[in-house]
């Protein structure tokens, strides 16, 4: 077994490396080019070595390549590595040395993360691309509406999908030549979003049939279910379903010292896109169209406590509880029962 520990500070064009021997002595510091061939050439002789790097743009494919070469790869969470980013003498070489020393001393101090597989990453990029298009379409629609209002006009209320058709008939004459090209762009964005939606349905059906279990929950659609599966990838990575809420940044931060125990906002760790989808699902469940279920009753009880942010906290709490429920359904292959808690209490009383 190779006892060498290597710290690798990733860059866009070059990577800084620091190699420690068994005793912790620096044997080599160098730089390699950020190419697959260069990485393969350099690390061939370090098979079995422990390699520490930080999560970033290039870390997914580099960690997969190094793992395939037989290396023990540790991908550190940069949010937790204060000893590296909060320094008065920060440099690529120093960062690589710190990564190597932390990995050699105690790998748990890196708060290592697991990158998803290549196929899951490609499929998740489809959801991210769709999200970007939706955001751009919303920005353009808001600009068109604002431009019309600035001249005393007003466009009719309508969905984003049909905005380009309805708005075209109500544009002020003086703005026609300026805004009509934007309506054409909105039409093209809408068409591409629908194409992505069909691809999401197809991918879910063919590669991730477990999404059907999650979509049985009222408020969880194809986007949320697929994003959940792709982000977690392996349900067995969590010992308890309750850990999923913390993994997705839906649990409150804690700052406790002595008799002081502050009530803080959620951590917002993990994937922001999935967290946003879960919060949206929570808003739907508590909204006027949400069906009566355990999740809705749970959220309503929290919201009824009152307070300045009671409703917001209830939505986040429902999103957190939803993530736990989705993980359990996925892990055990159970069929969703919207009134599981109520039925359980009824059976207990009857017994």
* Structure confidence by residue, pLDDT tens digits, 23-45: 999 999 999 999 999 999 999 99
Q: If you average pLDDT over every residue of the chain, what do you get?
A: 92
Structure tokens, 304: 């009824």
Which 3 state secondary structure label does DSSP give 143?
A: helix
Q: How confident is the model at residue 306 (pLDDT cuts 50, 70, 90)?
A: confident
Q: 162-204: per-residue pLDDT in tens?
A: 999 999 989 998 999 999 999 999 999 999 999 999 999 999 9
pLDDT at 1 over 60: no
Report, as an integer, the average pLDDT of 262-289. 92
Per mean pLDDT, which range of 79-88, 95-104, 209-218, 288-297 is the poorest?
Answer: 79-88
Contact assessment for residue 204 and residue 226, using Cβ atoms and an 8 Å cutoff: yes
Q: How many CB atoms lie within 10 A of CB 149?
A: 11
Alpha-carbon distance 75 to 66, whole Å? 11
Report, as an integer, the average pLDDT of 47-66. 95
Q: Is 171 left (phi over 0), alpha (psi -120 to 50) or beta?
A: beta
Which 3 state secondary structure label does DSSP give 78?
A: coil
Closest CA to 140 of 184, 195, 192: 184
Contact assessment for residue 297 and residue 305, using Cβ atoms and an 8 Å cutoff: no
Q: What pLDDT is recorded for position 261?
A: 74
pTM to 2 decimal places: 0.87
DSSP string, 280-318: HHHHHHHSTTPPSSHHHHHHHHHHTT-STTHHHHHHHHH
Per mean pLDDT, which range of 66-70, 76-80, 213-217 is the poorest?
Answer: 76-80
Contact assessment for residue 7 and residue 105, using Cβ atoms and an 8 Å cutoff: no
Report, as an integer, the average pLDDT of 116-127. 94
Indicate the length of the chain as a whole number: 351
Percent of the chain whose pLDDT exceeds 90: 81
Report, as an integer, the average pLDDT of 243-269. 86
Q: What pLDDT is recorded for position 14?
A: 96
- Residue listed under structure tokens 């919303």: 138
Contact assessment for residue 53 and residue 39, using Cβ atoms and an 8 Å cutoff: no
Q: What pLDDT is recorded for position 80?
A: 86
Closest CA to 62 of 38, 98, 27, 78: 38
Q: What pLDDT is recorded for position 347?
A: 64
Per mean pLDDT, which range of 50-54, 81-85, 227-231, 334-338 is the poorest?
Answer: 81-85
Q: What pLDDT is recorded for position 84?
A: 81
Q: What pLDDT is recorded for position 258?
A: 79
Compute φ and ψ for 121, nearest 5 degrees: -65, -40
Per mean pLDDT, which range of 32-46, 70-84, 229-243, 290-304 is the poorest?
Answer: 70-84
Alpha-carbon distance 165 to 180, whole Å? 11
Alpha-carbon distance 27 to 226, whole Å? 46
Alpha-carbon distance 234 to 39, whole Å? 28
Contact assessment for residue 242 and residue 324, using Cβ atoms and an 8 Å cutoff: yes
Report, as an integer, the average pLDDT of 284-309. 91
Q: 86-106: per-residue pLDDT in tens?
A: 777 889 999 999 999 999 999
> CB neighbours of 207 closer than 8 A, spacing ≥ 6?
119, 123
Alpha-carbon distance 65 to 214, whole Å? 33
- Strands 5-9, 50-54: pairing is parallel
Q: In this structure, what DSSP letter does residue 5 have? A: E
Alpha-carbon distance 264 to 33, whole Å? 43
Q: How confident is the model at residue 122 (pLDDT cuts 50, 70, 90)?
A: very high
Which 3 state secondary structure label does DSSP give 232?
A: helix
Report, as an integer, the average pLDDT of 44-60. 95
Compute φ and ψ for 279, nearest 5 degrees: -65, -40
Q: What pLDDT is recorded for position 345?
A: 72
Q: What pLDDT is recorded for position 214?
A: 97
Q: How far is CA 280 from the centre of its chain?
A: 14
Contact assessment for residue 275 and residue 248, using Cβ atoms and an 8 Å cutoff: yes
Task: Provide Rg for the chain, Cα atoms.
Answer: 25
Structure tokens, 101: 């020393």
């Amino acid at each position: 077994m190779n006892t060498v520990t290597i710290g690798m500070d990733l860059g866009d064009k070059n990577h800084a490396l620091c190699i420690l021997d068994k005793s912790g002595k620096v044997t080599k510091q160098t730089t390699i080019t950020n190419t697959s061939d260069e990485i393969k050439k350099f690390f061939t002789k370090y098979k079995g070595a422990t390699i520490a790097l930080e999560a970033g743009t290039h870390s997914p494919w580099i960690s997969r390549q190094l793992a395939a070469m037989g290396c023990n790869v540790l991908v550190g969470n940069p949010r937790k590595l204060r000893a590296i980013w909060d320094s008065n003498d920060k440099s690529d070489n120093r960062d690589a040395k710190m990564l190597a020393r932390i990995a050699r001393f105690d790998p748990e101090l890196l708060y290592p993360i697991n990158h998803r597989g290549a196929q899951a990453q490609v499929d998740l990029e489809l959801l991210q691309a769709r999200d970007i298009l939706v955001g751009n379409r919303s920005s353009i629609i808001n600009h068109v509406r604002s431009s019309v209002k600035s001249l005393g006009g007003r466009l009719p209320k309508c969905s984003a999908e049909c905005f380009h058709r309805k708005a075209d008939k109500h544009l002020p004459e003086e703005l026609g030549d300026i805004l009509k090209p934007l309506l054409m762009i909105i039409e093209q964005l809408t068409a591409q979003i629908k194409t992505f939606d069909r691809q999401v349905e197809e991918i879910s059906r063919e590669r991730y049939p477990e999404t059907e279990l999650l979509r049985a929950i009222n408020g969880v659609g194809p986007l949320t279910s697929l994003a959940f599966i792709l982000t977690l990838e392996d349900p067995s990575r969590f010992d308890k379903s309750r850990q999923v809420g913390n993994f997705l940044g839906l649990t409150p931060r804690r700052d406790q010292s002595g008799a002081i125990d502050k009530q803080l906002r959620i951590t917002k760790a993990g994937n922001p896109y999935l967290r946003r989808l879960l919060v949206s699902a929570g808003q739907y469940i508590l909204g006027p169209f949400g069906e009566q279920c355990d999740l809705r009753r749970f959220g309503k009880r929290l919201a009824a406590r009152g307070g300045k942010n009671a409703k917001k906290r209830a939505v986040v709490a429902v999103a957190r509880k939803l993530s736990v429920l989705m993980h359990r359904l996925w892990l055990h292959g159970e069929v969703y029962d919207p009134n599981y808690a109520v039925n359980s209490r009824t059976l207990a009383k009857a017994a």
